[in-house]
């Protein structure tokens, strides 16, 4: 097949291209707008297959909380459409564009689902994958397959849709997704504590999540990183910031914020942000503003929340790291010095003590060429991973090697 | 159902029964083995009782290692295995085959650890769904998925069918609450997937295992998320003169940005049966009843119910009543939860589990009524209105073989209708044997083929729970 860049206008054409690639054993780099193409192992592909020309929302039923879009539809376009109906994407996708050198809002919905990168609200509402109701995709045989549907509940057959979420285009090319959406919350309140040490900050976030107040955002940001928040009152002190968000109808959000403030008196919550300032704060978190243009490698680590500070503390004794804890400590965005391995050896060795996994989101190509970008799996799990790849993409043409060598 | 065929039993396996029992006794001496006919009889069916089959034998292991040894033995001897929890499947998911060993996990019912600071619990797969909540309720936490059978059903069974429940509009279903599992593959390999953190590394194998109806591996341990219970909850009853008005009201509530924790719909026959059975206080002179429940503090509940009442006014409700006390709330839910039992008192019923888009509710109910009249059956409809899951209960006499055959045809027509309307065959009960042959209504050969490739990736010899989920013709175990 022709080398270079392919962006078919129809699903049929895309399926044809994949079948042709399978016949000719041409490895394809699969992507949407390519904002996340630098994430993954360094691999040579024969051609690029983009879904960027598959654009459009084919169904949106606000009262059924469902939206169906072609995979190349920009997330920004979908968010705009939802906002016009007072709705939103519940999983609040992190916009990796800015930290990877792109402008904001360029990601496609297919890319968001294929990488399953969920934002702060994941603790309350669930992940991107949790909101995926159905997909149409093209597997490595060039077959167009469907799974799930457009309704909330569906256990008809295996759940291929969610299995494709987070597979980084290595199993099938997503061409259309059906997602669950939710009403946008009208009032947002954010309680902030300043200057707490990491273990205390994470403890506060855990306490907040253990209340019945439906806390929808819990972050703790190291002092140095906190300087980069847009809101001057928050960035100026240069102290760590611990933030707890509640979203609801106005009276409820205010009531819950006041109850929580009482409960957390011992930690001296010093500031309560109103809706507008809350949105500004959480937009900074969503676009990882504090990690933009730092020239340092960036890791994304998922682990048990209370172990998060222990990991960071242990690492900090050996390398210069800075952490943003989200998901009440369960998700750590960690930047490391630009050393040869981006800190991979230390991170993975320390993580093994606690359990969890680390993905290298940003690094120089030299680093990506020599280290495992995705968490290495133990042998039985890797064997199953290989079998699954084989089941979807038997000749190995879809983003081969991007996640794991030979897969 | 009545014409249902299962994979042909292997006479060589059946004839080796005594020897297999002897070998297993030696291999796993602590496993409870049930080989006598009377004992096996207990396991011959599940909650889809129209189908029965005596298994070769039943094994009740107590540890993951025993599960692994049994599976390895079955793998090497080419013996089929049917995993089972409490046997509450409504789709025949736990129906044995004559040449199969039923692997029942009900003895593995312990809570292994509770970690409240991280809001997770590790349990054995044979614990009941309510058993998890009971273990943490003292601290104000709960496990969210709440299928109607939660007192009896096991979390392993919930994983197999990706169970939902009355509160899944707000909280989601099983797949949204499982962080990790210990899985034993058919060849005996023990694999840990995920852990005590969100979003497991690598491919989302949990997504495949949850809802795979016991066909990919045997889950022995599960790590679940725990949530803090709301401050309070209260339902209200809304009665309407038409299903159209009730459906409109549901859409209106959601359009106003309110996501109630539960939104249940009952049609006139369902209301009458439940009210006569439980005296829940339901109005009898309406065509459609909504039970709408919201959560929060007392003030928040009042505000939300007030808003919902205002919205309902646009749809001319015949009845609007807010629960006045915890006792009344309990009674309202008792009526709804007793629906299946109440209808069961009247007659045998065939419970369907299709899903439809909410906007198609009236069309669906009209057509279901028409289909049932055509087959000369009465029907009562219960509908999880928030998520589109529709349970028509078709009343029939199971002792009449002609009726059994007719009710199957009637049910199949209803499920085809659900797919035509943009929905699906099953929302929470699973495909099992019951809807196996209808899979081609919803899926193409390529869709089904991809699923079968996955089955083969986990279980190349198709020994785990065969004869379920996929149409038998063209299926690897045919």
pLDDT in tens, A307-341: 999 999 999 999 999 999 999 999 999 999 999 89
Nearest residue, CB atoms, B423 vs list A143, A149, A304: A149
The torsion angles phi and psi of B244, rounded to 5 degrees, stand at: -60, -45
- 């403890």: which residue's tokens? A203
The H or E element that residue B456 is part of is: helix B445-458
Inspect the interface and report whether the beta carbons of B386 and A152 lie closer than 8 Å: yes
- 């050969």: which residue's tokens? B445
- 């249902």: which residue's tokens? B4
In chain B, CATH 3.30.70.2740 sits at: 347-430
- Lowest-confidence pick of A122-126, A249-253, B383-387: B383-387
Inspect the interface and report whether the beta carbons of A375 and B162 lie closer than 8 Å: no
Residue B395, Cβ neighbours under 10 Å: how many?
A: 20
Helices A344-354 and A308-316 pack at an angle, to 10 degrees, of 140
By the 8 A CB rule, do B261 and B295 touch?
yes
CATH topology classification for B233-339: Alpha-Beta Plaits (3.30.70)
User: With pLDDT > 90 as the criterion, what percentage of chain B qualifies?
Assistant: 90
In chain A, CATH 3.30.70.2190 sits at: 187-289
Task: Tell me: pLDDT of B173 over 80.
Answer: yes
Mean pLDDT of B282-296: 96
Per-residue confidence band for B167, with pLDDT thresholds at 50, 70 and 90 = confident
CATH topology classification for A187-289: Alpha-Beta Plaits (3.30.70)
Q: How far is the alpha carbon of A275 from chain B, nearest alpha carbon, in Å? A: 17
Inspect the interface and report whether the beta carbons of B208 and A159 lie closer than 8 Å: yes
B111-228 classified as CATH 3.30.465.10: yes
Beta strands in B125-195 (DSSP E): 141-142, 178-184, 190-194
How many angstroms separate the Cα of A265 from the Cα of each of A184, A193, A278? 29, 10, 20
Q: How far is the alpha carbon of B96 from chain A, nearest alpha carbon, in Å? A: 20
Inspect the interface and report whether the beta carbons of A156 and B426 lie closer than 8 Å: yes
Nearest to A74 by CA among A114, A115, A116, A32: A32
In chain A, CATH 3.30.70.260 sits at: 293-370
pLDDT in tens, B404-445: 899 999 999 999 999 999 999 999 999 999 999 999 999 999
In chain A, CATH 3.30.465.10 sits at: 1-184+377-407
Q: How far is the alpha carbon of B208 from chain A, nearest alpha carbon, in Å? A: 5
CATH topology classification for A1-184+377-407: 3.30.465
Which residues in A lie closer than 8 A to residue B165 (C-beta atoms)? none
Optimal mutation site among B197, B212, B297, interface A, most CBs of chain A within 10 A = B197
**Count of alpha carbons within 13 Å of B295, Cβ hemisphere only?**
17
User: CA B121, B127, B129 angle in degrees (round to 5)?
Assistant: 80
Distance CA B275, CA B323 (A): 16
Distance CA B478, CA B471 (A): 9
Mean pLDDT of A104-129: 96
Which residues in A lie closer than 8 A to residue B201 (C-beta atoms)? 302, 357, 359, 374-375, 377
Nearest to A372 by CA among A401, A346, A404, A349: A404
CATH assignment of B347-430, given 3.40.50.300, 3.30.70.2740, 3.30.450.40, 3.30.2010.10? Answer: 3.30.70.2740
Task: Tell me: pLDDT of B98 over 70.
Answer: yes
ipTM above 0.90, yes or no: yes
B297, two tokens: 């503090």
Mean pLDDT of B226-244: 96
The torsion angles phi and psi of B249, rounded to 5 degrees, stand at: -65, -45
Residue B312, Cβ neighbours under 10 Å: how many?
A: 25
B464, two tokens: 């785990």
Task: Tell me: pLDDT of B477 over 70.
Answer: no
Nearest to A71 by CA among A178, A176, A179: A176
Which value, in Å, is the radius of gyration of the alpha carbons in chain A? Answer: 21
Optimal mutation site among B201, B299, B354, B429, interface A, most CBs of chain A within 10 A = B201
Length of chain A: 407
Inspect the interface and report whether the beta carbons of B208 and A126 lie closer than 8 Å: no
- 């299995």: which residue's tokens? A163
By the 8 A CB rule, do B157 and B173 touch?
no
Nearest CA in chain A to B443: A146
Task: Tell me: pLDDT of A69 over 90.
Answer: yes
Cα torsion B295, B301, B304, B306: sign = positive
Q: Please give the CATH number for the structural domain made up of A293-370.
A: 3.30.70.260
pLDDT at B73: 98
pLDDT at A283: 97
Distance CA B94, CA B103 (A): 10
pLDDT at B3: 56
B26, two tokens: 């030696």
Mean pLDDT of B347-373: 94
Average pLDDT, chain B: 95
In chain B, CATH 3.30.465.10 sits at: 111-228
Question: String of b and e for A120-150 (b: at least 16 CB within 10 Å)?
Answer: bbbbbbbbbbbbbbbbbbbbbbbbbbbbbbb
Task: Tell me: pLDDT of B1 over 50.
Answer: no
The torsion angles phi and psi of A146, rounded to 5 degrees, stand at: -120, 150
In chain B, CATH 3.30.70.2190 sits at: 233-339
pLDDT at B475: 77
Optimal mutation site among A156, A262, A393, interface B, most CBs of chain B within 10 A = A156
B428, two tokens: 């929470």
Tell me how far apart the 2 most distant CA atoms of chain B are, in Å: 71
Task: Tell me: pLDDT of A104 over 70.
Answer: yes
Task: Tell me: pLDDT of A221 over 80.
Answer: yes
Length of chain B: 478
Nearest residue, CB atoms, A146 vs list B251, B255, B447: B447
Mean pLDDT of A284-301: 96
């Amino acid at each position: 097949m022709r080398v270079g860049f392919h962006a078919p206008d129809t699903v049929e054409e895309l399926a044809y291209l994949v079948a042709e690639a399978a016949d000719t054993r041409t490895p394809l780099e699969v992507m949407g707008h390519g904002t996340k193409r630098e994430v993954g192992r360094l691999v040579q592909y024969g051609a690029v297959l983009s879904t960027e020309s598959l654009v459009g929302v084919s169904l949106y039923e606000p009262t059924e909380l469902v939206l169906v879009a072609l995979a190349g539809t920009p997330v920004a376009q979908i968010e705009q459409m939802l906002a016009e109906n007072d709705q939103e994407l519940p999983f609040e996708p992190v916009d990796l564009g800015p930290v990877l050198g792109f402008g904001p809002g360029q990601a496609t919905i297919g890319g968001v689902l294929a990488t399953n990168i969920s934002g702060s609200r994941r603790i309350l509402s669930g992940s991107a994958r949790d909101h995926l109701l159905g997909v149409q995709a093209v597997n490595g045989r060039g077959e167009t397959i469907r799974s799930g549907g457009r309704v909330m509940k569906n256990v008809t057959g295996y759940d291929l849709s969610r299995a494709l979420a987070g597979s980084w285009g290595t199993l099938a090319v997503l061409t259309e997704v059906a997602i669950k959406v939710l009403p946008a919350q009208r009032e947002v309140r954010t309680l902030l504590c300043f200057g707490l040490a990491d273990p205390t900050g994470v403890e506060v976030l855990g306490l907040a999540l253990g209340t019945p107040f439906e806390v929808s955002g819990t972050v703790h940001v190291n002092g140095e990183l906190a300087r980069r928040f847009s809101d001057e009152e928050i960035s100026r002190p240069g102290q760590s910031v611990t933030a707890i968000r509640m979203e609801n109808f106005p009276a409820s959000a205010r009531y819950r914020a006041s109850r929580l403030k009482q409960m957390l008196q011992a930690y001296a919550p010093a500031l309560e942000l109103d809706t507008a300032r809350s949105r500004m704060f959480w937009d900074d978190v969503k676009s990882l503003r504090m990690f933009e243009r730092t020239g340092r490698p960036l890791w994304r680590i998922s682990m048990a929340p209370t172990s998060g500070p222990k990991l960071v503390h242990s690492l900090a004794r050996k390398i210069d790291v800075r952490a943003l804890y989200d998901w009440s400590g369960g998700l750590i965005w960690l930047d490391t010095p630009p050393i040869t391995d981006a800190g991979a050896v230390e991170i993975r060795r320390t993580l093994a003590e606690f359990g969890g996994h680390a993905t290298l989101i940003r690094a120089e190509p030299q680093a990506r060429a020599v280290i495992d970008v995705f968490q290495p799996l133990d042998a039985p799990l890797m064997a199953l991973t290989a079998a699954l790849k084989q089941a979807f993409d038997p000749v190995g043409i879809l983003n081969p090697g991007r996640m794991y060598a030979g897969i | 159902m009545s014409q249902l065929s299962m994979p042909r039993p292997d006479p060589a396996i059946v004839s080796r029964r005594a020897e297999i029992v002897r070998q297993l006794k030696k291999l796993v001496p602590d496993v409870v083995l049930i080989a006598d006919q009377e004992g096996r009889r207990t396991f011959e069916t599940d909650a889809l009782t129209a189908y029965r089959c005596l298994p070769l034998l039943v094994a009740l292991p107590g540890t993951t290692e025993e599960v692994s040894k049994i599976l390895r033995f079955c793998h090497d001897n080419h013996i089929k295995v049917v995993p089972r929890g409490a046997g509450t499947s409504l789709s025949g998911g736990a129906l044995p085959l004559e040449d199969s060993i039923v692997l029942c996990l009900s003895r593995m019912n312990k809570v292994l650890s509770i970690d409240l600071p991280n809001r997770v619990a590790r349990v054995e797969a044979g614990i009941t769904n309510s058993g998890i909540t009971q273990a943490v309720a003292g601290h104000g936490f709960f496990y969210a998925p709440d299928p109607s059978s939660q007192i009896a059903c096991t979390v392993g069974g919930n994983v197999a069918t990706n169970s939902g429940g009355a509160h899944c509009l707000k909280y989601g279903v099983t797949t949204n609450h499982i962080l990790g599992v210990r899985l034993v593959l058919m060849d005996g390999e023990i694999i840990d997937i995920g852990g005590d953190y969100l979003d497991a590394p690598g491919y989302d194998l949990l997504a495949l295992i949850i809802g795979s109806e016991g066909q990919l591996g045997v889950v022995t341990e599960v790590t679940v998320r725990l949530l803090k219970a709301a401050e309070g909850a209260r339902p209200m009853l809304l009665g309407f003169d038409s299903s159209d008005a009730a459906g409109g009201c549901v859409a209106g509530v959601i359009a106003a940005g309110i996501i109630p924790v539960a939104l249940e719909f009952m049609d006139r026959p369902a209301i009458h049966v439940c009210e006569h059975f439980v005296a829940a206080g339901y109005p009898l002179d309406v065509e459609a009843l909504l039970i709408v429940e919201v959560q929060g503090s007392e003030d928040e509940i009042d505000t939300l119910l007030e808003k919902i009442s205002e919205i309902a006014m646009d749809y001319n409700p015949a009845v609007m009543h807010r629960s006045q006390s915890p006792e009344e709330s309990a009674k309202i839910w008792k009526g709804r939860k007793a629906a299946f039992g109440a209808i069961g008192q009247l007659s045998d019923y065939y419970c369907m589990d299709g899903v439809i888009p909410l906007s198609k509710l009236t069309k669906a109910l009209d057509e279901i009524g028409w289909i049932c009249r055509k087959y000369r059956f009465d029907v009562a409809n219960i509908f999880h209105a928030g998520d589109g899951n529709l349970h028509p209960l078709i009343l029939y006499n199971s002792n009449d073989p002609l009726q059994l055959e007719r009710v199957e045809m009637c049910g199949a027509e209803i499920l085809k209708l659900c797919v035509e309307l943009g929905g699906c065959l099953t929302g929470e009960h699973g495909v099992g044997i019951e809807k196996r042959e209808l899979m081609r209504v919803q899926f193409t050969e390529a869709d089904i083929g991809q699923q079968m490739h996955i089955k083969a990736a986990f279980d190349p010899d198709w020994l785990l729970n065969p004869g379920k989920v996929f149409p038998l013709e063209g299926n690897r175990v045919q």
